[in-house]
Amino acid sequence: MSKEILFLEPVFTHNIWGGTKLREEYGYPVEGDDIGECWGIAAHDNGDCTVKSGTFAGKTLSTLWNEHRELFGNQEGDRFPLLVKIIDAKDDLSIQVHPDDTYAAEHENGSFGKMECWYILDCEENSTLVIGHNAKTKEELTDMIENKRWGELIREIPVRKGDFIQIDPGTVHAIKGGITILETQQNSDITYRVYDYDRLSNGQPRQLHVKQSLDVITVPAKPVEDSVIYVGETKVNELQELIRCQYYKVFKIDVDGEAVIEDNEPFLIMSVVEGSGTIDGQEIRKGAHFILPAGYGNVKLKGNMKIIASTSA
């Protein structure tokens, strides 16, 4: 069994709402002023990360899942379960919603649905996000969408750096400009665009998915308090659980000096989101994404850094 840490080479997307922060602040070698997403841990047709070094150098994460399932504790499933990305929104993202597994399987060629959660890495003073909507019934929702009553429809909430938000399938949501997040999600890329602020991309409005949106949006929306997770007091040098749901467990680790993390999960995804240090002697810094494979054992982190970790549930 391999005891190597799997350091991954991320994949990037360019988006009309993207910017330059992923290059300038996170140090990723990617050109352009429209960099929207860094897929740090991904094994999807639209982005498949490759291993940087060691025994599996050059292999994609989906290949490892298919051919070396022992690295992931021999978990079942035809696809790697999770996708972890950093999203830098220079401008507002479209207002969108994701289907659940049942709807996606039926309408999207057997894709997974998408449950996701956000750790707010950075934002400006007085930032807001769109989470949920104000329609009380399906009829009201339909009317608000068909008659473009966007101001009445969408529910905006204030957010601060360090907030953590869970977004169930069926939840209307949008990241606003100036916000950078780390998203942990089901391995899916199915998004239904409800409203795009009437913007043009290459001279054309981007496609909206009104029918699918109306099919999948939950009415009424969950109360805000059920989406914004209280993170609690920061514990230093410990694995601090942020959420546990049917698809994933997500943790935060604030390393100040030295932390030993016990090997309690089938595998553990880690993304360094602030600072730098070492993991079992190997240097890591902000922007690094890697996986501790099954059976790796306890791991020693040193330095001054913040890490968001996850595993499948």
Helix/strand/coil for 237: coil
SS3 295: coil
Tokens encoding 7? 């350091």
Task: Give the Cα separation of 313 and 304 in Å (integer).
Answer: 28
H or E element that contains 104: helix 101-107
Instruction: Pull the structure tokens for residue 225.
Output: 């308090």
Count CB neighbours of 24 within 10 A.
Answer: 11
Q: Which residues are annotated as catalytic?
A: 193
Tokens of 28: 């990723």
Distance CA 248, CA 201 (A): 34
277, 303 Cβ separation under 8 angstroms: yes
